[in-house]
Amino acid sequence: MNKFDYLIVGCGFYGATIAQRARDLGKSVLIIDKREHIAGNAYTEKIHNINIHKYGAHIFHTSSGKIWNYINQFGKFNNYRHKVIADYNNCLYSLPFNMWTFNQVWGIKNPNEALEIINSQRFLGTPRNLEEQAISMVGYDIYNILIKGYTIKQWNKDPKDLPPSIIKRIPIRFSFNDDYFDDKYQGIPIEGYTKLIENMISGCDIELNSNYIDNRNYYDSLAKKIVYTGPVDQFFEYKYGNLEYRSLSFETEIIEQTNNFQGNSVVNYTNSDIPYTRILEHKHFDMIDSNKSTIITKEYPKNFNINNEPYYPINDDKNISIYNKYKIMKDNIKYKFLFGGRLAEYKYYDMHQVIGSALATEI
């Protein structure tokens, strides 16, 4: 006899949202996670009164009032608006691409001048890859300064070998609005993401340091329904081969007697010969400057293998073809299993999209 109504594998935003909804319906829920903490990649740890984003920057943004109202039930958000600086050969540029960027690259002052230069440099055919897509959007100069080197580091592939969809998510503005996101609602939980997800899963049983794949027969016997948020290819024992990901490693440093290291939460390094892609300074996410010290994290892209975490799905034609075979297998067992989240759906989701998917899931 099943002990729980739901077993949820993975305590990121998808698992936490399903858990919260199930508990709200009076269902019993067991959440397990192979890590030693809840909150998945959104996990934050407080050091020197600063919330450290342990697995990279997480900025909550959405234009959905439904999603914003939902997540605000579980914690208060500050009014942080994400702005990114790019460093190329020790020169600084504004991201995403806006009139500040165009002024910094070309010295121009109005949108018509920027558009004229971009039009003279555009790729005019139908973009077949990331390089052609980027050049069709912003021209050769900006591509070479701000996109090419960063992309090579991030994906360990020539931009000609990456799908055009990867770059489409970056906005371009012919105004001096340098907000990274256009969404109506933006912010970061004041108490950190870990506390936010802790509030979401209140009333659930939790087991950490527990690997579902290593003991799946036991865990499957515990619940009527299994919600799986891990890698879909691993679930099906790689029957159709491995799906490709990029991974990351992080180098965090406490800098004593320094109140402000770089003046911004994120600085991207777009030269291909600098090994890290960006430096985070965490206090700026919290919008505080009173500390006598600061904490930074350098983010290094790396190849994915079984010993590190998958972060970014490589959604090219080859991998999508493999995933579609796994999707058929998922559909055949949906009476017992639900699959959701970035890894189980092999999608490059943002947090609000994960929550939206979980809210739309029939449970």
Q: Which listed residue (131, 244, 299, 316) is catalytic?
A: 299
* Count of other CB atoms within 10 angstroms of residue 360: 8
As given in the structure block, the two tokens for residue 178 are 């340098």
CA angle 99, 101, 103 (to 5 degrees): 70
The yes-or-no answer on residue 173 being catalytic is: yes
Contact 289, 260 (CB under 8 A): yes
Cα atoms found within 13 Å of the Cα of residue 91, Cβ hemisphere only:
9
User: Which helix (DSSP H) or strand (DSSP E) does residue 61 occupy?
Assistant: strand 60-62
The yes-or-no answer on residue 299 being catalytic is: yes
Distance CA 130, CA 159 (A): 5
Cis peptide before 163 (omega within 30 of 0): no
* Count of other CB atoms within 10 angstroms of residue 347: 16
The yes-or-no answer on residue 348 being catalytic is: yes
Intra-chain end-to-end CA distance of the chain, in Å: 20
Q: Which listed residue (173, 179, 191, 276) is catalytic?
A: 173
Contact 329, 84 (CB under 8 A): no
The yes-or-no answer on residue 342 being catalytic is: no
The yes-or-no answer on residue 81 being catalytic is: no
Beta strand 84-88 with 185-187 is unpaired
Name the CA dihedral angle for 206, 47, 61, 134, rounded to a multiple of 10 degrees.
-110
The sign of the CA dihedral 229, 233, 237, 242 is negative
Phi, psi (rounded to 5 degrees) for 226: -110, 130
Side by side, the strands of the sheet bearing 294-303 are: 91-95, 84-88, 266-269, 278-281, 294-303, 245-255, 312-313
The yes-or-no answer on residue 179 being catalytic is: no
Q: Which listed residue (21, 23, 278, 342) is catalytic?
A: 278
Q: Which listed residue (24, 169, 214, 256) is catalytic?
A: 169
The length of the chain is 363
Tokens 């397990």 correspond to 32
As given in the structure block, the two tokens for residue 89 are 């050969």
Q: Which residues belong to the active site?
A: 169, 173, 246, 278, 299, 348, 350
